[in-house]
Structure 1
């Protein structure tokens, strides 16, 4: 039986973005193995990790511990991870490897180079992009350009990354997919009691709810929305964030400092994202970097207007005044102005809602699944597993 290995730094990348890929590979007759750092808790709870392991066991997918670190400076761990992946590939003789996340993919492609194993790499948003810090270009760009020579298929999920890689890198093939795909129907709830759910969330009839979904970290940039809300001085505007992360204490402290603590709720990890979206009036996505931004696309599927930063993958779906409004990621005044605009203009919100329900169809998971099946089948199923010397 043909074997393949799926590699990522953390379990969430497998559980959130690759279960459909695993199903496709199993249907194509592959024995699928998964490798990541199962001990990492920076994104997922122990419960979610255990649930993923149970799902993989049910699918008869083997999984392995690799001591990946998320820090680019943890050279000792990177070397250990390299040895672990190399040992795994020597033992299992994979036909190909599909890797994700920057650090894991650097290490894995070096192993593929040494072992002459075919490699697919999905870039979920390069760290170098228009407007990125110079340090990102100095570190990540030369590494990605060099390793592109040892990448059989590079998959990009936004057009900026696709065009840059196509023009500057040396991978054997490049593909564009519209993200990992969204189950659109899941977010268009029928017979949803919006008023009742909002009441459970502690919202009054006149409250205007802004929602963000994502890890509480520097990149997600939730603090800019807090500052924008404070500037508006409107107690009816409420902000809820679904997610966990190491900036929780900072965001609580900042909301108190800005005297908007009664308008801000940190919801933690939630399983009811579709219901939260349906209960909201506006979706805020002010990230400093996004490969595409699944959370915002899910919000579009729910019919929510967007206010976003104007960077990288977000540009693929943020059409000014049509699907929402964008701002420089650090422009508090612009975010405040756009929140005020949509707060005051119900007709505009309704028009954007209808536009988003139509526009989001191009990100339907059925489209992505078909592209991935073609990539796996046409590019790899009919060729040997080793790269020629």
Structure 2
């Protein structure tokens, strides 16, 4: 009989963006793979996919129905393994699984950035810290993706059976590859940019945490010295109109391109010179890793995720305010050689630690260790 695994998260596109290599790997090992999350996105490598009426806030009543559905799925399919992600997916998945752990069910939770962290609002600590600490009791393996979260879990004595640290969810360096200057020029012509423009990119949902207004204000500081600079923003969200109005009020609307939701991030990165990042909180941001894989330098504000990826002076800089961001952009815009040097270091860091194959190997070892505890040695296929 095939072993069964349930992947659980708040929304299904979380799996599409970050976890298909791991879902595919389980399928290759002969497992029956189920997924439970909100949404109707068709995912590959999945045997059964279930919609959950799950909400991001732990205070929403719909989460009671989502919990009941996960519980019913566990009872019906008798899973061997639950792999949960996102705060609410992790909470409900572990709650529903808690009474079956003494019957052999193994439960993993990956924290993609605790909502409580250094600099997080007090409310986050009041709400999410006690929840995560309690939920750790129902967790066989708690996986963290940055050193700060790992240290927090250890320091505060989270009672998961094991706590581990890995290098995020990985990025495919073969998709996000650097291009030659000639290739970059061709891409720019296709997208109607001047060959000599200095293009900065940031791809993220427009919300208060992602803080795109910071980047727009920094751009206003360099408009006189670098009139050919352009800020390219991909994404949608509740703060989009505010950012458009801000760019208009600062007289730089013509220097900011709001692209909306895009699926061609790899091509957009290939025509750009720099990745900028302004989010207040990050676990280990994939959008930054994609820019690094594409061979671009990074200029970002301080947070735990950016600090893991950006080595100041090696592949970019961590900056504390709008003036520092503007100064670093001006420096790079005036020095093509420095851009190239820092970008090469960015890609080297990805190849050293953060490629999807390296992360898959890290998780494979953790998966194998937990699953072998079910009883008997598991034979793993090699692909």
Contact 1:3 1:30 in 2 (8 A): yes
Aligned to 1:216: 206
2:109 to 115, 121, 124: 121
Aligned to 2:329: 339
1:143 to 98, 119, 131: 131
Aligned to 1:101: 86
What's the TM-score, normalizing by structure 2?
0.91
Contact 1:25 1:376 in 2 (8 A): no
Aligned to 2:272: 280
Aligned to 1:44: none
Q: Is structure 2 residue 113 aligned with structure 1 residue 112?
A: no
Q: Report the Cα distance in structure 2 between the residues aligned to 1:145 and 1:14, rounded to whole angstroms.
A: 25
Q: Report the Cα distance in structure 1 between the residues aligned to 2:28 and 2:236, rounded to whole angstroms.
A: 34
Superposed CA deviations along residues 97-147 of structure 1, whole A, max 9, x for unmatched, are 100000121111111223334210000011111222222112111111111
Aligned to 1:183: 172
Superposed CA deviations along residues 187-224 of structure 1, whole A, max 9, x for unmatched, are 11567721121122222233111101122222211110
Structure 1 segment 339-358 matched on structure 2, within 5 A:
339-358=329-348
Q: Report the Cα distance in structure 1 between the residues aligned to 2:306 and 2:240, rounded to whole angstroms.
A: 25
Structure 1 segment 1-389 matched on structure 2, within 5 A:
1-38=2-39, 49=41, 53=42, 55-56=43-44, 59-74=45-60, 76-116=61-101, 117-168=105-156, 169-189=158-178, 193-234=183-224, 235-328=227-320, 331-361=321-351, 362-383=353-374
Offset of residue 382 of structure 1: 4.5
Offset of residue 18 of structure 1: 1.2
Aligned to 1:42: none
Superposed CA deviations along residues 247-296 of structure 1, whole A, max 9, x for unmatched, are 22222122111111101111122222222111111101111111101111
Contact 2:220 2:252 in 1 (8 A): yes
Aligned to 2:380: none
Offset of residue 228 of structure 1: 0.7
Q: Report the Cα distance in structure 2 between the residues aligned to 1:259 and 1:217, rounded to whole angstroms.
A: 22
Q: Report the Cα distance in structure 2 between the residues aligned to 1:60 and 1:10, rounded to whole angstroms.
A: 15
Unaligned runs of 5+ residues in structure 1 are: 40-48, 385-389
What SS class does the counterpart of residue 99 from structure 1 fall into?
strand
Contact 1:189 1:274 in 2 (8 A): no
Larger RCO (CA within 8 A; separation ≥ 6): 1
What SS class does the counterpart of residue 39 from structure 2 fall into?
coil
Q: Report the Cα distance in structure 2 between the residues aligned to 1:208 and 1:2, rounded to whole angstroms.
A: 52
Unaligned runs of 5+ residues in structure 2 are: 376-383
Instruction: Number of aligned residue pairs: give it.
Output: 367
Q: Report the Cα distance in structure 2 between the residues aligned to 1:107 and 1:173, rounded to whole angstroms.
A: 20
What SS class does the counterpart of residue 193 from structure 1 fall into?
helix
Q: Report the Cα distance in structure 2 between the residues aligned to 1:321 and 1:347, rounded to whole angstroms.
A: 14
What SS class does the counterpart of residue 174 from structure 2 fall into?
helix
Q: Report the Cα distance in structure 2 between the residues aligned to 1:185 and 1:60, rounded to whole angstroms.
A: 24
